[in-house]
Structure 1
Amino acid sequence: MTRVKIAIIGIGAIAEATHLKFLLEHPDAEVTAVIDVQPGRAEEVAKQYGIPSYFNTIEELIANTHVDAVLICTPNVTHIPIAKIAAANGIAVFLEKPIGTSLQEVEEFLEIAKENNVLTMVGMTHRFRTDTEILKNYATKNTFGDIYYVKAKLFRRRGTPKGWFTNKALSGGGALMDIGVHVLDLAWWLMGQPEPMTVTGKVKTALGAYDTKHVSTWESKNKHINKNNVFDVDDFASAWIRFKNGAVLSIETTWAVNGEQDDGIQIDILGTEGGAKLHPLTIYKEEDGIFTEMTPSFQAKDPFPVEMDHFIQSIRNNETPSVTGYDGYGVLAMLQAIYESSEKNREIVMNDEL
């Protein structure tokens, strides 16, 4: 296969700094088009980086040029509507997290992708970190025995993003849908992706649109889609997930808290034969009757180019990517159960897998 022709849909700050940057540098990829609904944005980026085509919609893209794949980096509620059009036209799809906001919509998309034999990958970047790769290898080799409890959290002290993220009509949720999706997916993946049974959760808008001085935060470049600064989403979430294999996952995440900030995702794994902590990566195990604590030595790598390369090579080799649309659906199902549990103030029994 020649170079994979790719269109990036939604050229926000993150897409420009990561997806676009690394794809332009990749020897097996060619960014042939960019798409953005903000007037002039796609043209500006195309001219800046020498990209041949630019459009305002995916319909314009399909009508005027050919691509092998699209990267969808738009607000969460638009992910699946765009992905459906791409899949119906036989175009491979990369969706930034979360895969979507509606389980029914995701089911419909996955069916279209299956019917058209379309490759789908979800952007769970933390799976491609060096330390998580090492930890996953330990877990896969059954180093920890029966994993019975995992605690995962990510607290920001003052890290609420500005823009469409705080508008539920665009994002589908707040901190839980933004950073909580990474925390949940990473922990679930390290556990071996057991089937969830019940979920108890609580979400809350605690600090809301604070006015703290001398702090900075990330702001969407696409300012016009939430120009009224709507803030109707959660900025704190906590949940307890029981799995059918007997394991339990505790998850906590917040954009803003009056407390200590975490330096990255924190994960603790407890197993019958050993345990582990992420960040810094530490392995706990008893050997020859002596309790040991080991800190693996490794050189960290930027996970974004590794993730982009995996997507490109999956297309070139016609292989199923390591983060599938069904993985994205499974994570979204648990996220939605957390919201439902909080709203109804009771435990939610999960439905069978898709």
Structure 2
Amino acid sequence: MGGMLERPSTKRPRLGFLGLGWIGRSRMQSLAETGLVDIAALADPSGDCLAEAAALAPAAAQGRDLDDLLAAGCDGIVIATPSALHAQQTIAALDRGVAVFCQKPLGRDADEAARAVAAARQADRLLGLDLCYRHTAAMQALRDTVRSGAVGEIFAADLVFHNAYGPDKPWFYDAALSGGGCVMDLGVHLVDLALWVLDFPPVTKVSAQLFAGGQPLTSRAQTEDYGIATLQLASGAAVRIACSWNLSAGQDAVIGADFHGTQGGVSMRNRNGSFFDFDAHHHSGTSSRPLAEPPDDWGGRALADWARRLAQSPGFDPAAEEFVQLSRIIDRVYAAGLAE
């Protein structure tokens, strides 16, 4: 038969990786181990980062920037660069007809995120975002239990992510580059988990308090190191989030999610201060039964899921609109949290 044929779904996508620091290399290695893709090209302005990644994928072409990856003829690009670059690099790749999987945040504000999603829709290309905690066994089990109706109607939720450390790259502390502090870094996961578990309901009201060095945040030019926010949902339910950097938490991290229903509750907790090990439980009165527990190798699952979908079809997934809704709520948290 003559003419153009669709790429068979059994063919492995050729991927390029842009940004090869710890998270970029970690995601690349986890995906390589699945055998789902061919790692075709690597790019990073740092020779050291490039060399470390090349040791994991020696057959991949090497370059320094996005143009080098696009020249390599990739089907998709995985972006793990500083936040200020995410939207523009995502849009540039999509405009060339290349699918994208990006580290969060997709944009420093909702306008950047919306433009990236619009580019994906216009190009009819798959756009993914590394909202990795959705893919933990604990959160999957928690969501399934809520969706089953086993805890009744959810009327409140509390989610926390306190990090006893802070980011190790200076750009995280420059709001012009990062878009914000701990809310942009950690709070985005909490807001996403709450909305994802509850099927992205409308948020009718947002209140917040943000702090930098123990003092109320007065300008978006600052980066907050502690934030709390309450989201009121259209159902009347309340979602509270709290997150921080460099908090005296008594352990490496405090990560948790509680959803309170009219007939019971569910919870997720990190085990022994771990950033990686999580338990989930279903509560009824004073009794509790486990839903999930470690070990659980979840770090690369969001990327692997995107890669599987890319192999099946490179077309736009309307679920990407959730990324814009998430970013709009983060914008509302910052607007509500600035001290008068």
What TM-score do the two structures reach when normalised by structure 2? 0.85
**1:58 counterpart = 2:66:** yes
Distance apart, 1:44 and its partner CA: 5.7
Q: Rate the CA distance shift 1:37–1:323 in 2: closer, same or farther, 3 A.
A: farther
Q: How many residues align?
A: 317
- Are residues 1:125 and 2:136 paired? no
Relative to 1, partners in 2 of residues 1:5 and 1:264: Cα closer, same or farther, differing over 3 Å?
Answer: farther
Partner of 1:228: none
Question: Are the structure 2 counterparts of residues 48 and 274 from structure 1 closer, same or farther at C-alpha, using a change threshold of 3 Å?
Answer: closer
Alpha carbons of structure 1 residues 44 and 127: separation in structure 2 relative to 1, 3 Å: closer
- Out of 208, 222, 228, the position equivalent to 1:238 is 228
Tell me: CA distance 1:201–1:207, structure 2 relative to 1, closer, same or farther (3 Å): closer
Give structure 2 stretches of 5+ with no counterpart: 1-8, 216-220, 270-278
Is the CA contact (8 Å cut-off) linking 1:123 and 1:323 kept in structure 2?
no
Task: Choose which of 27, 42, 46 in structure 2 pairs with 1:38.
Answer: 46
| Matched letter for residue 34 of structure 2 | H
Matched, 1:284 2:283: yes
**By how many angstroms is 1:128 displaced?**
0.7
Q: In the TM superposition, what whole-angstrom CA distance separates every residue of 1:284-334 from its partner, at most 9, and x where no partner exists?
A: 236xxxx63222355532112322221111111228899943222222111
- Residues 248-291 of structure 1: CA deviation (Å, up to 9, x unaligned): 110000012244447442111111121112114221236xxxx6
Give the 3-state SS of the residue equivalent to 1:107 in structure 2: helix
Partner of 1:26: 34
Q: Is the 8 A contact 1:155 1:261 kept in 2?
A: no
What residue is the counterpart of 2:184 in the other structure? 177
Q: RMSD across aligned C-alpha pairs, in angstroms? A: 2.4
Gap runs ≥5 in structure 1: 209-230, 346-354
Cα 1:241–1:258, aligned 2, differ >3 Å: closer, same or farther? same
Q: Report the 3-state secondary structure (helix = DSSP H, G, I; strand = E; otherwise coil) of the residue aligned with 2:125.
A: coil
The 3 A distance-change label for structure 1 pair 61 and 258 is: closer
Q: Does the 8 Å contact 1:311/1:321 carry over to 2?
A: no
Cα distance change of structure 1 residues 232 and 40 upon mapping to structure 2, 3 Å threshold: same
Listed one character per residue, the Cα deviations across residues 10-43 of structure 1 (whole Å, up to 9, x for unaligned) are: 1111211x21111222212111111123356435
Report the alpha carbon displacement of residue 233 of structure 1 after superposing the two structures with TM.
1.1
Aligned counterparts of 1:42 and 1:207: Cα–Cα separation in 2:
39
Identity among equivalent positions (%) equals 21
Structure 1 residue 90, shift from structure 2 partner: 1.2
Q: Which amino acid counterpart does residue 288 of structure 2 have in structure 1?
A: E
Residues 43-192 of structure 1: pairs in structure 2 closer than 5 A:
45-46=53-54, 49-62=57-70, 64-192=71-199
Match of 1:305 in 2: 300
The answer to whether the aligner puts 1:256 opposite 2:255 as a matched pair is: no
Q: Partner letter of residue 196 of structure 1?
A: V
Q: Which amino acid aligns with 2:335?
A: E
Q: Normalization by structure 1: what TM-score?
A: 0.82
SS in 2 for 1:265: strand
Aligned partner of 1:4 among 13, 30, 35? 13
Q: Which residue of 1 aligns with 2:209?
A: 202
**Whole-Å separation in 2 of the counterparts to 1:161 and 1:333:** 27
* Contact 1:4–1:312 under 8 Å retained in 2: yes
Conserved in 2, the CA contact under 8 Å of 1:33 and 1:46?
A: no
CA 35–300 in structure 1, closer or farther in 2 if over 3 Å, else same? same
